Amino acid sequence: MQKVFDVAVIGGGIVGLASAYKIQKNKPNFKILILEKEDLLAPHQTGNNSGVIHSGIYYPPGSMKAKNCVDGRHELVAFAKEHKIAHDICGKLIVATEPSELPFMKKIYGNGQANGVEDMQWLNSEEIKEIEPFCEGIEGLRVGCTGIIDYRATTEKLAELILQIQPDSELHLGEEALKFDHDGDFKLIHTNKGSHKAKKAIFCAGLQADRLAKKDGVKLKERVVGFRGDYFELTDRGHHKVKHLIYPVPNPDFPFLGVHFTRMTDGEIECGPSAVFTFKREGYKKTDFDLRDTIDALSYSGTWKLFFGNMKFGIEEQIRAFSKKRFLKTLQRLIPSLEMDDIRPGRSGVRAMLLNQSGDTRDDFRIEYTDESIHVLNAPSPAATAALSIGNHVYNMAQEHFNWD
């Protein structure tokens, strides 16, 4: 007789595991199935991001991003301390290099105050240099509660704890959910390795969120479009020029935070990322191409509206992605003394953006439910920081709409 799971969670990134963990913790008798199509946990966005614990300073007050980022950050740091996961609350600087950036930096500061972000300090140029001696800026904002963490290790620990709470729960790696139908009152999940029965399903599929939602019968107008971010690393020669995290003031007309410096938990210092359209949703090389992904993106009106609305930025990002010299020039806005020998090419990541039909990428977190499923449809940055809080939200939504006692 086929085993019946109380819940199937599809997606082995940090949001999927945090959601499974919160359900398992609150419902210890539940048997949970976690499906991840790759051979390891956190294989895509979770394991290839910059590893930053975001403060919550950027997000509009009252938004899901703001609330879940701040709440999730506190919970994440406590979790990391309890389970000895590599992390460091090292703080970061947001640095203005020209007067035109100051009004938006003040707006960010106001967001931080409204969102309950603690340990913020406005700095003058001399105070910036006391923290980061090689950084040049006219004014800055120190955000002391920002940090760095190993998100892959966090995800693996969540999986370990789930199986400790309920040994009858299962984690299946290398198993891809392909289609869904019903067997009586149960959801039948067909995979590349067979089929599984579950009473309910939670979808946390990241770069594939829209496709799985449609396979599950969700009428979704929006489409996921991928953006690759390429990083450089500081060489031994340039390593001493950055001590913590250094960010530019984000351009309010561009939907990304800009190229920044991040000290990682292993001591390496990354510079980036760029933000370029990718022709393969899960493509980490500049030349990666997938015909289906390309057709999906380029046949969608929202993609072209995004391109045309951000033409100047898009061209600059494409040039910078293929030009070390142009990338260095961007880095030199914050640290003018950096030279070509101070940086070397690093890794890449891909971000999933649920793009609406008007080409707007600034959508909030988006989580929807049906009678038998919950879909995390849009969870870009700061979703990793917010994951445990998102997990609470998913559990509470399930508790209410699935009528769990």
The total of other beta-carbon atoms located within 10 Å of residue 221's CB is 8
Contacts 24+ apart (CB under 8 A), 400-404: 401/369, 401/371, 401/374, 402/200, 402/372, 404/27
- Where are the strands (E) in 204-257, listed by range? 223-234, 245-248
Q: Minimal CA–CA distance to 272: which of 347, 382, 380?
A: 347
Q: Which two tokens stand for residue 37?
A: 């199509």
Phi, psi of 242 (to 5 degrees): -135, 130
pLDDT in tens, 167-179: 999 999 999 999 9
Q: How far is CA 327 from each of CA 48, 87, 250, 324, 347, rounded to the nearest angstrom?
A: 20, 28, 16, 5, 14
Q: Which two tokens stand for residue 22?
A: 């919160």
pLDDT in tens, 188-211: 999 999 999 999 999 999 999 999
The secondary element (H helix, E strand) that includes residue 349 is strand 343-355
* Burial class for 84, CB neighbours closer than 10 Å (0-12, 13-18, 19+): exposed
CATH class of 4-46+152-221+364-401: alpha beta
* 225: three-class secondary structure by DSSP: strand
Question: Band of the pLDDT at 252, cuts 50, 70, 90?
Answer: confident
* 61: three-class secondary structure by DSSP: coil
Lowest mean pLDDT among 3-7, 84-88, 131-135, 227-231: 227-231
Question: Band of the pLDDT at 357, cuts 50, 70, 90?
Answer: confident
Which pLDDT value is given to residue 159? 98
pLDDT in tens, 291-316: 999 999 999 999 988 888 877 777 77
Which residue has 């609150």 as its token pair?
26
More confident residue, 363 or 266: 266
pLDDT of residue 255 exceeding 70: no
Which pLDDT value is given to residue 3? 92
Which pLDDT value is given to residue 338? 97
How far apart are the C-alpha atoms of 60 and 102, rounded to whole Å?
Answer: 18
* Burial class for 28, CB neighbours closer than 10 Å (0-12, 13-18, 19+): exposed
pLDDT in tens, 339-354: 999 999 999 999 888 9
pLDDT of residue 230 exceeding 70: yes
pLDDT of residue 391 exceeding 80: yes
| pLDDT average, residue stretch 268-285 | 90
Average pLDDT, the chain: 93
Question: Band of the pLDDT at 254, cuts 50, 70, 90?
Answer: low
| pLDDT average, residue stretch 76-104 | 97
